[in-house]
Structures are given as structure tokens and as C-alpha cells.
Structure 1
Amino acid sequence: MKTNIIFGLIAAALTFCSCSNNSSKIVDSIKTKEYQPNFESLSQHEAAPEWFQDAKLGMYFHWGPYSVPAYGSAWYPANMYLKGNRVNEFHEKNFGPIDEFGYEDFIPMFTAEHFDAEDWADLFQMTGAKFAGPVAQHHDGFAMWDSEINPWNSVDMGPKRDITGEMFQALRKRDIKTIATLHHARNGQRNANTPEYWGKNGFNSHYPYHPDLPTATTDPKLRKLFGNWENIDDFNQYWLDQVIEVVDKYQPDILWYDSWLNMIPEQKINEMVAYHFNSGLKNKQEVVVCSKHQDIPWEYGIDDMEQGGRRDIYPLPWMTDITLGNSRWMYVEGEKYKDAALVVRNMIDVWSKNGTVLLNVSPRADGVINQQQRDILKDIGAWMKVHGEAVYGTRPFHIFGYGTANASDASHDGQSAKIKYSAKDVRYTIAKDKKSMYVFFLGVPESGKPIKMRAIGGFHRNQPPSPIKNIKLMGSDAKVEWKLTPQTLLINMPEVEYNPIATVLKLELE
């Protein structure tokens, strides 16, 4: 998508300046009555309203018919149709040949009998999430809402419940903002004219196509599941119609898009964004739209990096989506999970660099979020309850921090979500009123040991915006002894038992 560079720089400056107390909401200042589906109009919308910058943590869940086999990954629907693929071999061994037991046959088995939206909302709230919601539709074409457009939906089939509606209602009762993530741009088949399963241009469709495969069906209803439309223009309209239905029925605060949104024509994307923004105006919501790879211009959209991070502070608010699973997003039998310390330390790194985290959990097909995940979320929530002041509503400092963590396994633009930090790695945030600054040790510091913090001490250019009055250890009444010299801020760490996840000092400023 082409954007006007000069206007974009102005918009970026306005967005970044929203961090200050004197900021004004762009949408109010221009008194927009209705957004039009073009860059000039949409770029007048504030990409990251203050509530979003304050929120820091959201949660969602990959859950659908693909959860039934609990094998492979959320790409099971695609891989089961690829001869020679291990998922295909598993499928035919356990469920039968693909022409006798297709993906659609998993849907009646997706019963969700233990799904409890109130329990899940409590779990997300306990973890510390400020927004949450479902993967409303993954690449598989199954809608997790009460759809009149998509016949393959959770009300007419499978659970026979409005998953999105129930979840949003429970979240709003707890004053938690809502997010609907949509991955269905990948659903449309764009490879029917090539002999290869996935086309000469790579993975440009979720379901593989071949005339001999069930995905090449001409059944009018089944074609909608496989995205097998006679022409791609009809699919693109189908893609848009479903988003509009979600916006009309549920008014999500955030619409979030997975990769491959670039496969949708720019005009359709503009129509979608304008419809979402206008719904926000109508319902007095400060809505947000997120995408990966800047498929939506950063002038009015939030950029998301999957399992990623950044090497330094980014001037615009951004997001990363990560999963509790070691590698999988859906529930898979035998999957190992990251521990709370690994998750929180990586989240702190994101927050220190102006980012927001979208954390994924993986329910079983029957609607159970297993105990392993619940225990991790409980530990995260306990840490957030004590240290939330250092997270929510804060902004990045002049520098994100310093340390020795090895980012050699970095992914995307910066770091992965699995960097192993230690107490030698330090991160900073600062309160919006600049009356407090927070120092995070991404590990357990040695009790009673002095620490030299030269990066923000003495005459260093990155010293706090005003003199330090006092330093406190969050979660403890222990006295912290400190001294500011021309060279460094010297802190004597008190002899106490430190939090095993991360230690936070609060610097009270004048």
C-alpha cells in the first residue's frame, strides 16, 4: 500500500506525542463524522488510543475443529490433505482416508461441552489482561460466531453456541476490552490454475488444491469451507462480508489480522477499516485495527510481530502475539509450555520498547483449558498483581535498558519470545506523569549485593527527568539503600527473598 511519506511522518509524530499528558485525540480534534475508505480519511484516525497504550496485555485463544485431533498444529486442516505429510499419515491412520473423512467431519466432534465463558473471562482477568477475545476465524474457514453469511459456524454446527458472543458478554461484564482476530484472508483458494498443491507462488492458500483432492469440491456449501470459489473476487467480498457481520453483531474494540492480509485487495481492506472506524464512532468506542507486516498502514493501524520483538524502543506503539505453548498455538497432546518466568521476562522487554503483548492459550476441543496452562497464568497473574503499577499506563524511558542476554536466536525484526534473561538484564518504564520510574531485573538479583546502574546515574544523559527522592522494592517493605554519584546510581540490594520471576524497583522522583 502506498502512503504519503510526509503526511505519514506527521501522523507518526502525533501518535507518539499521545504519550504525554497534554495529548489530544486526533479523532476529536478533527471532529470526524464519517470515515471514507481511502488513506486520506482513514489516516485521520488515531492508531493507538491511550487506553490501548495503557493496556499492555491482552489474551486470545486458538480453538476450533482443528483442536479435535490435537495433533500437528493449527495447520492440520491444510496438511491432512497433503500426501506424504506426517499429518496426512496420522489422519488416515486414525480417522480414515481423506476422501472418506474430511476436515468437515471433525466439526460434529468439536462439542465444547465444558466451555464456560465466565470461567475463561475470570482466568484472563486474573492473569492481568486488559483486552481479550477469540480467534474468530482461523485459516480453516470455520466461524466462531453466530453467522448468517458463513454456514460453517459454531452456532449451526459443532458446539451450537455463539463462542464470540458469549465471550464478549463475559469480558464486558468485567470491563475488559474485546478483540476479535481474523485469519481468513488465507482461506481463499488462489491456486486452482497451477498443477502443484500450493501453487508456484508458494503458500498462497491454506487448503491445498488439486483436481483429485476433496478440496476441489463443487458442492456449493462445502466450497465455502475450503475457500474454493469460482473466482477470487467473490471470495474477497465474502471475506469482507464476514468482517462486517462481526463488527455489526459484536462491536469489537480491536480487529486483528494475521499474515496474508496483503492477498486481499487494498480497496476491500480500506472498506473494512472504514466500517470498523465508523462503528466505533457510532458506538462511542476508540477502536483499534492491527495487522502483521504493516499490511495496514501504520498511520492508522498497529503493527504486530508474531513471536517477535524489537532490538530497541520503537517510536510507535506496536504489538507482538506470543503463545504459552513452546511452539504450537492450538492444543496438541504432549505440548510443552513456557514457564511464567520466561513469559513475563520477555513481556517486560516488549513493554520497555513501547510494545503490547497478545498472549495465546490453547483450549482442548471439549472447552477445557488444562491445568498446566492455568498454573502458568496464575503465576503470571500473581506477579502482575504486585508489579502492575510498573506496567499498566507506563511509557518507555529514553533507553529500554541494558544487559547480556543472547539474542542470537532472534526472530522477525528483533528478539524471539524465548530469550533467556537473567538479573544482569535490566529494563525501564516510566509513569506518564514522570513522578515514578521503574527498574526491572529480569531474574533474581543477589541478596545484599551492591549494583552499579551507570546507565541512568550521575551526569549520564539518560538520567531520570527529575531527582530521585526514594527507591522502593516493589512487593516488600525492606529499606533500599542507594547513592547517586557523578558516575553511577549505586543501589545496595536488601537481604530479602526475591521474586523468582522478576524484581522491580520503584524510583520515586521529585
Structure 2
Amino acid sequence: MKRIKLKYFLLIGAIVAVSCTATKESIKKESTVIKHYEPTFESLKQHGAAPEWFADAKLGMYFHWGPYSVPAFGSAWYPHNMYKAKGGVRKHHEETYGSIYEFGYEDFIPMFKAEHFDPDDWAELFKNTGAKFAGPVAEHHDGFAMWDSEVNPWNAADMGPKRDILGDIFKSLKKQGLRTIATFHHARNGQRNRDKPELWGDAYDSHYVYQPYLPTATTDPKLRKLFGNFETIEEFNQYWLDQVNEVVDKYSPDILWYDSWLNLIPEEKRNEMAAHHFNNGIKQHKEVMLAHKQQDLPSEYSVLDYEQGGRRDSWPTPWMTDITLGKSKWMYVEGEPYKTADMVVRNMIDVWSKNGVVLLNVSPRADGVINQEQRDVLKEIGDWMKVHGEAVYGTRAHNIFGFGNAKTGKGHNAGQSSSVNYTANDIRFTVAKDKKSMYIFFLGVPKSGERIEMRSFGGYHRNIPPGKITKITHMGTNAETKFELTTASFFLTIPDVKMNSLANVFKLDLE
């Protein structure tokens, strides 16, 4: 009887001990949860850079759209170039609309009506393309806000479309189950060259060129805000921050993304921006993030974006690239050719195999129409994603990203989608997070019956699959595929089935 009681008390004691330990662990875990971020590096770095949902998402979409879409000429830098004394844009502007002294950039705004803008249609289009997050260019270099702003008098709700473009598209995106992104390009809107006569008319640190006799040197209190023409640059820096904070407070985007020249904004303002965004994420009970280009934000709490480019090799943490569907233009330009679906898909596969995420840009017309040429390409991409999404979403990079013959260039824009010619000789890999499957991508159409050797993938190399291969199938046809893994190499025989014209994927079942 005493032994039974002793065992009983020992059992109770063990349960209490475990309970106490668990309680201590939960208290410890709770104490490490950040409840408020301060605008300092030491505080902000605790947030981290890329949440799990972002690493899983793989594809997002955004759009360059604003008053600069009205002339549909040159590029989204039309507001910059129309005020420069030389160049084709100034000539085109004067021949089409008249002198810049009679027809300024602000006169395009009433013409930007967006009468066919259908946010529900756009959100459905983005989702069907395969995007997991989407949103607008909230404000480009031109200083025009695409939301209902109390800070910026030049906004889409009060003039032009007289609609809350950002608010409307966010509502539609959320109905489709997509996360949201707001991109900001207005760091270069502030006129920083007013006191540098040697740079007047030519400086690139401000979007609107300055000359005392140009309309951009206006003293009109309201128009000065459009041109970023403040008495002091400190006033503009606060104006920059107030606009971003307004979007965060009113719309709570999941991602704040910044174009180049964010380094022109003082570090203290950038820290205030980051803290405000992160604290709003806590308030909204969701994981938010920051993305930037170049070295404008610390990597400890922000994801680096490569414009029209990418990394040459795999990277241990998620990164990003923004590419445009246009061959070179970001806004709608009359006669602009578009990239083909195979070019876009193959480039995206290369990015995914290296732990990257793609932000794909489309270019609506000023009236709010995304033209059929772009829609056709997006449908091809979406159809491919529907079949092969398992090999994309939620996957991670393998020990090596792949191999092949494609020449990807050097530097920041290595892997640029408009210049790299991928073929079936270019192979890429991804691995499921649970390690129960792996995927081999052919960036083209391999020949049926061909026995392909992948020496760097198998054999004695350390790049072998993270498990025993039990079966390989061709995704899309589900055709079982012959393979051989030897001590020296790996061989895959292409089955005699219809191949996909964009890219082909083989699924490896692992145990």
C-alpha cells in the first residue's frame, strides 16, 4: 500500500514539475513577443525580414498607373522629361499638348478618369495569374497619391478618377484572399537641387527638374506639393513620412515596398516609418514586412529587391525581384511589346530556385483597361501555375539551384528576364518544406525518349535529394518517368507524352 502511495505522489510530483516547466517556458516565450517597436535599429531588427507566408507566396503583382498614363508616351518618367529642355518627350509634349507653360503635368490629372477601372476584375485577374499578394504603385515619383489622402491634396479621390484607387483595389484583393502591397516611389519627388545651380535642369536626385523660370519652381502653395518644391528639404522629408503613415493607418498593407532613392530620406525618418508599420502589424494581428532596393534599409528587417534582375546563385534568405510585363516599360505606352509567357515563367522559375519571390508589373491604360495583349500573357502564366503550383508555392531552394547553358550576365541585374534565353538544357530545382517531394524544372521542352544525365544532382555529390526517390512523374500528364540514381550520377528519361511549351516539371516522391 505504501509503495502504491509513493508511486502516486511521485507521479503527481512529476506532473507538477512538467506543468511548472511548461508554464515557465510559456512565460519565457510570451516575454519574447515584441509588443511595441521603437524607431531604432536595435528594436527594429527584432522584427525579422521575411515572414513565412512571404517565402511561401512566390508571386505578387502590382501596377504602374497614374496621370503619367494619359500621354502613353516615353515612360513613367514623362513628368521628369517633359520639363527638360532637350529630348523627345519635351518635343512630343509641345507638339501634342502645347507649351509646358500653358499645359503642365497637373493638366493631365483631369484627363486621368479611370472610367473603366474595375477592382473586382483586376483582383480576379491577379489571383488567376497565380499571385498571392498584389496592390498598386501608391505614389510614383510624380507626387500624385492613388489613395484618399488628407495629407496630399493631389490625390485620386479628390481629382482625376475621384476614386480611392488603393482602397478599392485592397477591398477586392482581400475578397479574393490575397495579401496586399503598397509601393512607394516618392522619395525622389522632393526637389533637392534648388540650391545647386550647377545641377539645375539635369539633376537626377529630384524627379522634377528645377530652373527658376520653369513651372516646377512655382510658388503656388498647393502646386508646390505636387512638384515636391518645399522651402526646406526637411519639410519634404516629413511630408514623405506623413503620406506613408497615412496609408498604413487607413489601409494596413501587408507589404510596404520602396523604389530606389530611399537613402535620400534621413535614417531617423526611415526608422519612424518602419516602427509605425511594424506596430500597426501588431495592432492588426498580422505579420507585415518591408522591401527595398539597393542598400536603403537594413537586411535584418527588410527584404532586398532586384529590379528586372536577380541573383546568380541561391541565397539562404528570401529576396525579391520586380519585373514588368512590358519589354522595357513600366507604364502603358502605345505600341509597347510585351514579354511572352514562356520568357516570364522561365525567369520566375530561375528566381524561385534561388529562394526569390517575383513581383510582376502590369500596365493599365489611363481609362482603367488592362489590354488584351497583357491579359493573354497572364492567362498563359496562370494556366501553367494551376498545373504546376505544387512545385512552386511553399517550396524552398535545393542545395544547388540547378545548372544549364543560359548566360545570365553579371552584377545587380543578373538573370534579367528580357535578355536571358532559357532552354530545355537549363535545369532548376525546388524542394517541398516537408522534404517529401522535390521538383525538377526544364526551362523549355525536352525531347521525348531522351536520357538526360544530371551529374551534379546525384551520385557521390552532396546535392542528392533529401530522401529516397520512390517515384518520378511528369506534372500535367502524370506520366511515370524512368530514372536511375547511381553512385556516380543521376539519369532521367523523358517520357513520350505531350510536353508543356512554357516549362516542364517532374515531381520526385521521396521517403
1:35-434 to 2 correspondence within 5 Å?
35-196=37-198, 198=200, 202-408=203-409, 410=410, 412=412, 414-418=414-418, 419-434=420-435
Identity over aligned pairs, percent:
67
How far the C-alpha of 1:116 sits from its partner, in A, is 0.2
Q: Secondary structure at the match of 1:44?
A: helix
Aligned partner of 1:449 in structure 2 is 450
Deviation digits for residues 300-323 of structure 1 (CA, Å, limit 9, x no counterpart): 000001001111011221100000
Higher helix share: 2
The letter of the residue matching 1:100 is: E
Given that 2:308 and 2:413 are in contact with CA atoms closer than 8 Å, whether structure 1 keeps it comes out as: no
The letter of the residue matching 1:467 is: K
Q: Identify if the C-alpha distance between structure 1 residues 39 and 362 changes in structure 2 by more than 3 Å, giving closer, same or farther.
A: same
Given that 1:181 and 1:258 are in contact with CA atoms closer than 8 Å, whether structure 2 keeps it comes out as: yes
Deviation digits for residues 356-377 of structure 1 (CA, Å, limit 9, x no counterpart): 0000000000000000000000
Take 2:30 and 2:342, find their aligned partners in 1: how far apart are those partners? 41
How far the C-alpha of 1:344 sits from its partner, in A, is 0.6
How far the C-alpha of 1:294 sits from its partner, in A, is 2.5
Given that 1:146 and 1:162 are in contact with CA atoms closer than 8 Å, whether structure 2 keeps it comes out as: yes
TM-score (norm 1): 0.93
Given that 1:108 and 1:158 are in contact with CA atoms closer than 8 Å, whether structure 2 keeps it comes out as: yes
Given that 1:197 and 1:210 are in contact with CA atoms closer than 8 Å, whether structure 2 keeps it comes out as: no
5+ residue gaps in structure 1? 1-25
Take 2:390 and 2:491, find their aligned partners in 1: how far apart are those partners? 23
Q: Identify if the C-alpha distance between structure 1 residues 35 and 152 changes in structure 2 by more than 3 Å, giving closer, same or farther.
A: same
Take 1:130 and 1:188, find their aligned partners in 2: how far apart are those partners? 33
Output the aligned Cα RMSD: 1.5
Deviation digits for residues 335-359 of structure 1 (CA, Å, limit 9, x no counterpart): 0100000001000000011100000
How far the C-alpha of 1:447 sits from its partner, in A, is 1.1
Given that 2:312 and 2:408 are in contact with CA atoms closer than 8 Å, whether structure 1 keeps it comes out as: no
1:453-472 to 2 correspondence within 5 Å?
453-472=454-473
Q: Secondary structure at the match of 2:71?
A: coil
Aligned partner of 1:487 in structure 2 is 488
Take 1:136 and 1:449, find their aligned partners in 2: how far apart are those partners? 50
Deviation digits for residues 282-303 of structure 1 (CA, Å, limit 9, x no counterpart): 0001001011012110000000
5+ residue gaps in structure 2? 1-27
Given that 2:201 and 2:211 are in contact with CA atoms closer than 8 Å, whether structure 1 keeps it comes out as: no
How far the C-alpha of 1:30 sits from its partner, in A, is 2.1
Given that 2:104 and 2:215 are in contact with CA atoms closer than 8 Å, whether structure 1 keeps it comes out as: yes
How far the C-alpha of 1:411 sits from its partner, in A, is 5.5
Q: Identify if the C-alpha distance between structure 1 residues 198 and 363 changes in structure 2 by more than 3 Å, giving closer, same or farther.
A: farther
The letter of the residue matching 1:421 is: Y
Larger Rg: 2
Q: Identify if the C-alpha distance between structure 1 residues 170 and 27 changes in structure 2 by more than 3 Å, giving closer, same or farther.
A: farther
Q: Secondary structure at the match of 1:222?
A: helix
Regions of 4+ moved over 3 Å? 26-29, 196-200
Take 1:145 and 1:307, find their aligned partners in 2: how far apart are those partners? 27
Take 2:92 and 2:55, find their aligned partners in 1: how far apart are those partners? 44
TM-score (norm 2): 0.93
Deviation digits for residues 83-122 of structure 1 (CA, Å, limit 9, x no counterpart): 1211000000000000000000000000000000000000
Q: Identify if the C-alpha distance between structure 1 residues 27 and 309 changes in structure 2 by more than 3 Å, giving closer, same or farther.
A: farther
Number of positions where the alignment pairs a residue of Structure 1 with one of Structure 2: 484
Given that 1:121 and 1:167 are in contact with CA atoms closer than 8 Å, whether structure 2 keeps it comes out as: yes
Aligned partner of 2:9 in structure 1 is none
Q: Secondary structure at the match of 2:412?
A: coil
Take 2:30 and 2:62, find their aligned partners in 1: how far apart are those partners? 30
